[in-house]
Every structure is written in C-alpha cells, then in structure tokens.
Amino acid sequence: MTLILLPYEKLHAEIQIFQTDSLAAIEEKYSGQPFLLAVWSIECPPCRDELALLGKLKKEGHQFNLVLVSTDNFSQHQSLSEILAQHQLKTSDNWAFSNDNYEQLRYLLDPEWFGEMPRCYFYDAAHNRRGISGKLKAKFLLKWISQL
C-alpha cells in the first residue's frame, strides 16, 4: 500500500470571516438557488455528527448548495479547518464568526434563535427559509435534496 501525502495547506479549508454583512452576501451569492446553511461549533458533539452526515452525503454525490457557519471565533480557523477536512467539507462555503460578540452575530443570523445547536436553515429558491434546531436525520436531508 502506498501512502500519498498532500501538502499541509491542501488539507485545510478556506474559511471566510462571518461579519455583520455576511448573511446578506451569502444570500446574494445563492440568489435564485436553494441552499442549506448549517450552524455549528467545535464544542458541539451533535454538530460533529451532523458534519459527518453532510460530508457523507456530499461524498456520495448528492448535489446541494451547502454553507457552513461556525460560531467559533475565526482565530480558531486552524482547528475549524481540520474538522472540516476530516469530514470532507473543506470545499464547502465555510465561515467562522469574526469576533467574540456571539450574541450580535447570532441575532443577525436569526433574531428568533436562542443559540441552540446544531441549527440549520433550509432556503428554497425564493429564499424563504425554515430554521430547525437539533441534529438532522439522513432521511430528512435526502427528502429535501430530492426536492431540489
């Protein structure tokens, strides 16, 4: 068996800084397209399970727009990137909160969200969105993907 080593930087995801105008930029980027925005954190075990599921679905070839927003501070980008790479999500649209003002950025994502995680937002093509807290099930995600 031959082991192929990739350059270190190839293992890491590109992570953008989530700031006060980032949600608008994300919604503009996916204008007219459905997408899933999943909020997660390093310290959230159910989030890791959800990342594993999302990575598995992507690896299996399921086509859907995925945006991942970590509520962890961007200064932790190396750890965040390693987790995303572990779940084969480094090529997703990845973001991390810009500062320690968690409450402000959380409020900007959704004024009715109290911070429970994991948290996902299912956007349709018209950008009507449905927020769901708690770990997603594969059956639910596959049904959503099949309707795209």
Note the pLDDT tens digit of each residue in 43-97: 999 999 999 999 999 999 999 999 999 999 999 999 999 999 999 999 999 999 9
The values of phi and psi at residue 14, to 5°, are: -85, 125
67 CA to centre of own chain: 4
CB 89 within 8 A of CB 54: yes
In a domain, residue 96? The reply is yes
Report yes or no on 4 lying in a domain.
no
Is the residue at 45 inside a domain?
yes
Regarding pTM above 0.85, the answer is yes
Please check whether residue 94 lies inside any domain of the structure: yes
Measured CA to CA, the distance from residue 53 to residue 72 in angstroms comes to 20
26 belongs to a structural domain: yes
How far is Cα 63 from Cα 49, in angstroms, rounded to an integer?
Answer: 20
Residues whose CB falls within 8 Å of the CB of residue 99, separated by 6 or more in sequence, listed in order = 73, 74, 105
Q: Could you tell me the residue range of the domain that residue 74 belongs to?
A: 12-146
CATH number, domain at 126? 3.40.30.10
Q: What is the pLDDT of residues 127-147, one digit of tens each?
A: 999 999 999 999 999 999 999
The domain tally of the chain equals 1
